[in-house]
Amino acid sequence: MNKKFPKQESEDFWKEKLSEEEFQVLRKKGTEQPFTGKYNLHFENGTYNCGACNTPLFKSNQKFESSCGWPSFDNVIKGSVEYNLDKSHGMLRTEVVCNNCGGHLGHLFNDGPTETGQRYCINSVSLQFIKN
């Protein structure tokens, strides 16, 4: 990452803080297997925070069932994420990263079924849930 984020830490710091899977997704831009994440079919009231730095990212009322295999949200908490062009895997996508630590969260698609028309397709392993 070239950008400096408010919570700028070394890769060694993140390797020590995160599990192997969390590090692979949040720091190396990996993806968890579809339909395996603990928040895919999770619909309690609360806030979904960054799994690395605990920054609030999504409210539970922004979550919806998309049947895509990953937690899906139709909006974010204002100012919580940043967007990057992702040209990996022969595709053009919009990557979503935490605006505080730069952790990879997932991707944004413009095919959502709600009035926003957006689907934030986010890895469960990139999140931690805080119940209201």
Q: Which residues are catalytic?
A: 121
Burial (0-12, 13-18, 19+ Cβ within 10 Å), 24:
middle
Q: What is the sign, positive or negative, of the torsion defined by CA atoms of 110, 111, 113, 119?
A: negative
Give, as one character, the DSSP assignment of residue 98: E
Can you tell me which residue has the tokens 């990057």? 84
Tokens representing 57?
A: 């990212």
Gap between the Cα atoms of 95 and 109, Å rounded = 9
43/13 Cα distance (integer angstroms):
32
